[in-house]
Structure 1
């Protein structure tokens, strides 16, 4: 998958020991926010991303 345009946010999921941390960078305001993420949420990320992609593709076809 490739992206074009101006990046507004970037996100990284970091493993620190046995814990997970989400780091989101606002590229316009140059700020960073972090949040602890449960293992269950990490395991559900592939399904969530797949659903978002499916919604995007369905939206493009309807237009």
Structure 2
């Protein structure tokens, strides 16, 4: 049996998270902080994700 004890360094990604992330790892890879179209599209996804996480944690998106 193999046991991995370094989850602080890196952790296996949940399958649902991987599914959502795949487009950003393969096709929509623009820098979210850039002014060009690729960046704006990715930046929108980051903003939407922050809002969803903030709602779950009952905090402001700026706190994420």
TM-score of the superposition, structure 2-length normalised?
0.34
Q: Which has the higher contact order (CA 8 A, sep 6+)?
A: 1
Structure 1 length normalisation: TM-score? Answer: 0.34
